[in-house]
Structure formats: C-alpha cells, structure tokens
Amino acid sequence: MHNTQDFQANFTYRPNPLLARSFLICRKEQNGDVTPVGDYTVLDKNEDFHLSERKVINLVMRLNGEKNLVSLGEQTRSRLLFHIKPRPEHDPRTEIVFFTQTGHGVSTENAILTMEGFDE
C-alpha cells in the first residue's frame, strides 16, 4: 500500500510564552522534534481567548489536510476575510492578515499569521 501522507507534516500549536494573545504554529519533524514554523497573533483585543484558540485549531486542522473545519460564523456573527501580503524576494516568511467583517462599516484587522518554510 502506498502512503499518500508522506508529503504532509503533522502540525500542532501552543500558546506563545513570549507574547500574550499569540500562538506558535509548530511542525512535528520525522525525528519527533517539534519546531515552531509560525505564529498567529490576535490583534483584536476584544476577541474572546477561546474563540481565538478555536480559529487556530481550524488553521492547524487545515495545515494537516483536514477539510471539515469547525464553523465559527454562527458564534461570531461575522465573516473572516484574509489578505496574503506580498513577499519580498529573499524573505522566507509568508504573512496573512485576517479581517473581521460584521456587515456594518469596514472590516477590521483581527489577526496576523506569519509562517516560514512554505513555498508558493
């Protein structure tokens, strides 16, 4: 039997010990080491910590290839939009800014995800 998961890494997360309202995104290496490959920092100071954590869980699930994510729209009563920032030529980091759109006024910055080691 051919193992089709060889190309997929196992990702996990943990609270960032150096920055409040931030989570480290980590990759489990083949030797068992867990290496930080990114961080998710919540910019919206009014967002509930548990909601932020559920968003990170969805991101990690998606990184692990899962397509059936937990719907959070009913809880937030908003849409989550994102923008991938253009990456300078020799910068290994990819930055994604997430925005909350409630349907009233303009969208507001919600969080920023910075990842390294992912080619486009």
Q: What digits encode the pLDDT tens for the residues 6-42?
A: 445 599 999 999 999 999 999 998 888 999 999 999 9
Handedness of CA 20, 56, 24, 112 (dihedral sign): negative
Per the structure, how many domains does the chain have? 1
Q: 1 lies in a domain?
A: no
Query: In this structure, is residue 3 part of a structural domain?
Result: no
Query: How does pLDDT run across 66-90, given as a tens digit for each residue?
Result: 999 988 877 788 888 899 999 888 8
The parent domain of residue 17 ranges over: 10-67+75-116
In this predicted structure, the answer to whether residue 4 has a pLDDT above a threshold of 60 is: no
Alpha helices in the chain (DSSP H): 49-63, 73-76
Predicted confidence (pLDDT) at residue 2 exceeds the cutoff of 50: no
